[in-house]
Homo-oligomer: A and B are copies of this chain.
């Protein structure tokens, strides 16, 4: 049950068996079905989740009900509304399952406790967040500076796994493009899936 999580942590830091046991005690295993929510706008994001298997998406809804996807998460990813989770204030994001998904769930309080009980987890999260900051910087640049075609090309170059794992209409939403626009771009780039 914890293999994916431990493998992910051990890409960044070394864990003893004792630390693994301690870590496992802070998480709850949960299965959710396709289309099931784990967070809705306005609720407080009580948990951060680690994805064992499956696919989740986080998104905002605009006034017309349009989805603006901010993040996809598959096995080995963490997902939450970070501001809502850290500050325990109402969320601005929805998070739901694109496929049946298996999660390891940790509460706000236990997240803090975990880093006190197993200090090496600070090192793990520090490195994880360094990487997230770099990714978010690239997203900021990409949204501001590139054409639709360049955005998709950058996704192919820097995040090919997303293209394998995520349905095309959701990638369009992630890039802020109409699905038809993305279809045209894929044809032009000759990368039909």
Write the residues of chain A forming the contact surface with B, with a CB cutoff of 8 angstroms.
Answer: 60, 62, 68, 70, 82-83, 86-87, 92, 115, 119, 122-123, 125-126, 129-130, 132-134, 136-141, 143-145, 176
Contact = CB atoms under 8 A, between A and B. Distances in A.
A180 to B, nearest CB: 21
Contacts of A144: 68, 143, 176
B134 A82 contact: yes
Q: How many copies does the complex hold?
A: 2
8 contacts: A68-B144, A86-B134, A92-B141, A122-B123, A126-B126, A129-B130, A129-B132, A143-B143
A137 B60 contact: no
A134 to B, nearest CB: 4
Contacts of A140: 70, 136, 139-140, 143
Contacts of A143: 140, 143-144
Contacts of A134: 82-83, 86-87
A70 B141 CA distance: 9
Nearest to A134: B83
A122 B132 CA distance: 16
A82 B133 contact: yes
Nearest to A123: B122
Contacts of A68: 144
A5 to B, nearest CB: 17
